[in-house]
Amino acid sequence: MNISKARTVAFDVLLRVAKQNAYADDVLRAELDGTVKTEDAGLATELALGVLRWQRLLDFVIDRNLSKPTGMADVEVRIALRMGVYQLRFLDRVPARAAVHESVELVKRARKRSAANLVNAILRKAAKETLPGISPADAVARLLPADLPLADRLGIQYSHPTWIVERWLRLYGEERTRSLLQANNRVPILSGYLLDPQRREDATQSLQRTGCRIQPGRLLRDAWVLEGGNPAASEAISQGWVAIQDEASQAVAHLLAPDPGNTVLDLCAAPGGKTLLLARAAGPEGRVIAADMHEHRVRAMQERFEHASIRNVETAVLNGAQPLPFERTFDRILVDVPCSGTGTFSRHPEIRWKLRAGDLRDLHERQARLLRNALPHLAPGGRLVYSTCSLEPEENEFVVREVLDALGDTFQIADPRGAIERCLQESVSVESVAGADGFFRTFPAEHGTDGFFAAVIERRKAKA
């Protein structure tokens, strides 16, 4: 039997994620380069990201049908089995025969022919265990030992590492943690915004021609939700009329709220989505510096800005963890730091398997250095926004309080409500995103966005 293009692409993506520590969306983008049919591209994406989201549950199903560990040391065999079980448990439209036989062929293609009979046997057993009308998560929950600790039970049922579930149970309690785990396993909403208002009609028609439906943003008034079709193939995207960006990420740029003519520093700018919003707000008289420590990412940003006809942005290669080279101050500074990404598990499911508890400590130290180096370059009366796409307090409020406590009363945490309230949909209360502690937060299960944190920090003006 020939193997479908969708399954070979998905297998190769998963193998690179496992062996090369690659990111699935980057590899998918490279593999689905326009030569793959739309339906194959859709199935390949579903398989690759679905397997990564549900990896622990899939392994539970595989291991309970495995009498001996023979051959399971090979990652290629494990990936083929995960793909097979995922299709059997999650994809109703895929015939069981195709799921089993093509997984066997994938093992042969990977030169692991000796494991073909094993894969065939395990998947045939798994096919007999499917329970119509019951979700895979609930079906697996029935098989777990009654005395299994709650974090392990939820970790298997909703496919997350136990240590992360334990953290979230302490932070959020069982009900909110369960809703977060469920949200992390849903296909993320595709959001964006109109970059060039004069192209609204052209952009709308272009997206609709690809079968895409444009809905209002769930969080922000100016955001679009793009449903169905193939927006990436539209002229609206290729010509830079519309930018794809999660609504919570857009909100962070709105929190900075540059005024026309402001000078703005975007310290960790790549890939440049927030920079586009900042440049538009600063206007032609404003000046934006978009910096990143990686030269290839800076080049990609520069090309993006040129493609979008953005003329008021200057790019720079610099390491923000070192003292900054600027002699001047800025009216606005965005410090959107590298982070664990625990707020983006739906969009980047492989992160949950790569992350380790010790990483949070290392990230905290780097994040504190970035914020500490940026603050001296904020003009009196200016505004800085520190942000992450993390749900972890070590990367969020702990960083802000540690750095500000060491600087006395020069800087203060400002109320984010004024900047964000005018951007929210009428159905969204400002209290749902701006906490009593003065910080901005979005929660995937409650807002339908990535999980973001932001602190608005102002520099006090010198007393006369």
Name the residue ranges covered by the structural domains of the chain.
5-141, 191-244, 247-459
pLDDT of 72 reads: 61
Percent of the residues in the chain that have a pLDDT greater than 70, as a whole number: 98
Tokens of 133: 């009308």
The DSSP string of 406-434 is TTTTSEEEEPSHHHHHTTB-TTS-GGGTB
pLDDT at 71 over 50: no
First to last CA, the chain: 82
Q: Count CB atoms within 10 A of the CB of residue 188.
A: 19
Average pLDDT on 263-275 reads 96
Most confident of 63-72, 125-134, 234-243: 234-243
Among the listed residues 212, 268, 389, 423, the single catalytic one is: 389
Count of residues in the chain: 464
Angle CA 347–350–351, to nearest 5: 85
- Residues 5-141, CATH architecture: Orthogonal Bundle (1.10)
Overall fold of domain 247-459? Rossmann fold (3.40.50)
pLDDT of 27 reads: 94
389 is catalytic: yes
User: Is the fold of 5-141 the same as that of 247-459?
Assistant: no
Q: Count CB atoms within 10 A of the CB of residue 113.
A: 11
Full-model pTM: 0.94
Give the bridge partners for 291, in sequence order: 316
pLDDT band at 25 (very low <50, low <70, confident <90, very high): very high
Q: Which of 402, 433, 387 is nearest to 266 (CA)?
A: 387
- CATH assignment of 191-244? 3.30.70.1170
